[in-house]
Amino acid sequence: MKAVLSIAGSDSSGGAGIQADIKTIEAHRLFAETAITALTAQNTTGVFGVENVPPAFVEQQIDVVFDDIRPDAVKVGMVSSGDIAATIARALSRNGARNIVVDPVMVATSGSALAEGGAVATLVDKLFPLAAVVTPNIPEACALAGFPVESEADMERAAVAIASLTPGAVLVKGGHGSSATASDYLLLPDGSGVWLRAARVDNPNTHGTGCTLSSAIACGLAKGLSIEDAVRAAKAYLTRALEAQLDLGRGSGPLDHGVEPGC
Give the model confidence (pLDDT) of 122-139 as tens digits. 999 999 999 999 999 999
Phi, psi of 67 (to 5 degrees): -70, -20
User: Do 207 and 254 form a contact (C-beta atoms < 8 A)?
Assistant: yes
**Per-residue DSSP letter, 49:** E
Q: Which of 171, 74, 214 is nearest to 130 (CA)?
A: 74
* Of 114-123, 144-153, 192-201, 252-261, minimum mean pLDDT range: 114-123
C-alpha angle 221-226-227 in degrees, rounded to nearest 5: 75
Element (H, E) at 94: helix 82-94
Per-residue model confidence (pLDDT) at position 181:
74
Q: pLDDT of 104-114, one tens digit each?
A: 987 655 555 55
Per-residue model confidence (pLDDT) at position 198:
85
pLDDT, average across residues 79-104: 96
Q: pLDDT of 139-166, one tens digit each?
A: 999 989 999 999 999 999 999 999 999 9
User: Do 215 and 20 form a contact (C-beta atoms < 8 A)?
Assistant: yes
Q: pLDDT of 16-69, one tens digit each?
A: 999 999 999 999 999 999 999 999 999 999 999 999 999 999 999 999 999 999
Flag whether pLDDT at 180 surpasses 80.
no
What are the residue numbers of the active site? 173, 206, 208-211
Per-residue model confidence (pLDDT) at position 106:
76
132 residue type, one letter? A
Please count the CA atoms within 13 angstroms of the CA of 189 that sit on its side-chain side.
12
Instruction: Write down the mean pLDDT value for the chain.
Output: 93
**Per-residue DSSP letter, 249:** S
